């Protein structure tokens, strides 16, 4: 669906930022957004789920399930699908459900081209899963079907070809684990605490720059907090506006 002035205004009103101008962005109908979050200059294909307090500056996103508090840099590429290397041909003519090219009729073989349809429909897209509080640097490439754990960091221009453990820092081509952000006991406590269940205002005054102290302080506060459960937004193809859904993210 094309981003219209009406749709952009509705998204903004209900907590979704996009920096695209109306008419300059296509948004798939299969999208679930948890406000507040930001699409900035993302190019979104096929489907997207994005959790609250997450944003991506720009790049290509295909079939992504993104958690909360994620930060993606410029020109990030996530979920670009593979061509079938075990088939006779890697060309998409064998699996596309539409024509390869949008062309006219005044060329040799035009009638046969437009009549041809050999699509097998067997090349199923893979969904890529990004946990909570993940930072992906500028120009990183994440293969389809990969799972990136909570708290992980993907260095700029890394090529991620396999799953990334929680709180790992990966870099290179192919990306490998360079280190972990914290000691394993801290990682275990953060995974158990699941602090991303809460809104940013619930974390006010906590020692965010001191992980162990932060955990101790949040554990003391947590009995008084309610998990953040905003209304999730999807696109209403009928009205060209937004609607609300109970579909989960993550």
Q: Which residue has the tokens 């406590």?
A: 189
For residue 228, the tally of other CB atoms under 10 A from its CB is 17
Catalytic annotation, pick one of 12, 20, 21, 83: 83
Closest-CA residue to 80 (of 140, 170, 39): 140
Q: Is the peptide bond prior to 205 cis by the omega test (within 30 degrees of 0)?
A: no
Examine the residue annotation and report whether 21 is marked as an active-site residue of this protein: no
Calpha distance 184→41 (Å, rounded): 36
* Upstream peptide bond of 127 is cis (omega within 30 degrees of 0): no
Judged by DSSP in three states, 140 sits in: coil
Residues marked active site are found at 83
């Amino acid at each position: 669906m094309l981003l219209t002035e009406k749709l952009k205004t509705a998204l903004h009103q209900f907590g979704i930022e996009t920096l695209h101008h109306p008419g300059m962005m296509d948004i798939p109908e299969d999208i679930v957004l948890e406000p507040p979050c930001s699409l900035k200059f993302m190019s979104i294909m096929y489907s997207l789920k994005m959790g609250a307090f997450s944003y991506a500056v720009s790049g290509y996103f295909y079939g992504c399930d993104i958690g909360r508090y994620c930060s993606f840099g410029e020109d990030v590429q996530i979920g670009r699908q593979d061509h079938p290397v075990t088939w006779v041909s890697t060309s998409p003519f064998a699996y596309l459900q539409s024509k390869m090219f949008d062309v006219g009729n005044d060329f040799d073989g035009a009638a046969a081209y437009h009549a041809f349809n050999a699509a097998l429909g067997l090349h199923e897209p893979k969904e890529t899963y990004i946990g909570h509080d993940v930072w992906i640097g500028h120009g990183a490439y994440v293969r389809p079907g990969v799972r990136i754990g909570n708290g992980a960091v993907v260095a700029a221009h890394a090529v991620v070809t396999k799953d990334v453990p929680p709180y790992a820092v990966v870099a290179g081509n192919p990306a490998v684990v360079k280190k972990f952000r914290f000691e394993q006991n801290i990682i275990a406590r953060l995974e158990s605490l699941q602090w991303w269940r809460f809104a940013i205002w619930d974390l006010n005054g906590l020692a965010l720059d001191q992980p162990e102290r932060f955990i101790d302080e949040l554990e003391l506060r947590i009995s008084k907090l309610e998990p953040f459960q905003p209304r999730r937004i999807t696109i209403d193809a009928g009205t060209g506006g937004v609607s609300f859904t109970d579909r989960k993210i993550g």
